[in-house]
Each structure stands twice: as C-alpha cells, then as structure tokens.
Amino acid sequence: MDANGHVAAIWTTPEESALMESVERIEAVSGGLAGDRYERGTGYYTPFDVCEVTFVAGEALDAIREEAGIDLSGGEHRRNVVTRGVDLSELLDARFRVGDAVFEGTRPRPPCRHVEETAGLDGLMDALRDRGGICADVVDPGEFGVGDAVEYVEDRSFDADGFAAAIEERRE
C-alpha cells in the first residue's frame, strides 16, 4: 500500500435512493457510519446484502470518467469512502485503520442496477464492474475524516496450514 494512501472524500445518506451528501468527518460506529442508511437499517438492500461501510478507489472513479465519460464526483457511485493511493484489494480479509477507527475488509462490492437507476446514468453499472470497491465492517469505532491515512493493520485471512498445525500441536 502506498505510504501516502488516504481518504479523499466521505459520502453518506440517511435512506435508500436519497442523494449522497459529502462530509469532512464522520464517526464509524458499530454497524457502519453514524447516520448512514445501512447503519440505520434503511438501505436499499437492508437486510439482505448489507455492507457496513463501502470504500472505492478515487483512481477507479478517474478511469470511469476518462473511459466512459461518466463523472461520479457528486457521490453518484454511492460508496461511503473514496480513497487515493490505496490498493483496496490488499484490504480484503485484512484490518486497516482510518483515523481513530479500525475496519476489516470483508468482500468486493460489485456494482448493481440500483446504483445506475438512482444516479440516472446509463452505463454506470458496467463502468463500475471490477472497480466497485470493497465492503468493510467496523471493528473498532472511532472518528475519521478527509485527509486521514489508510493504514494496513493485519492480515485476517484464513490460514489452513496454520490452523491444521495448531490442532496437531494440541493433540500432542
């Protein structure tokens, strides 16, 4: 991860399909970002497919603007945190710190038709394919803001060999 990886923007909205609002600072709480649709249980996919917090790379949004001519600078991507200088795939199955909060990357966040329909931008779902960002859970609540560093904390992926060795060790 780039040593200069940081938060470039933060977006939130209190309910499904409402316009995203840009904020400078926010509190990560158990269940998501304070007041955001998924933390409140009012998101479009609640309770079926909930991401507590979504992260997307600003570089991906730049590429979408350049390649597809779709400008997402107003939060139309519907992701909570826009980063710069961060390889989000490195944060899957890992814990990472942003400001005072710690998150755990849980899975990629694929694009959906709802994002395209809400934004009213034809082609948005296809443009976001393979660059829709990641989902993350809040592990340790805390405040963070635009400009805060994104710092890798630890790998949390399953280590089958280590697990098997630990079981074998306990048997001895």
pTM for the model stands at: 0.86
Assess contact for 136 and 91: CB atoms under 8 A.
yes
- Over residues 60-110, the pLDDT tens digits come to 999 999 999 999 999 988 899 999 999 999 999 999 999 999 999 999 988
Assess contact for 19 and 118: CB atoms under 8 A.
no
Is the domain defined by 6-171 classed in CATH 2.40.33.20?
Answer: yes
| Phi, psi (degrees; rounded to nearest 5) at 3 | -65, -20
Nearest CA-CA partner of 80 in 2, 6, 135 = 135
Residue 103 vs residue 1, higher pLDDT: 103
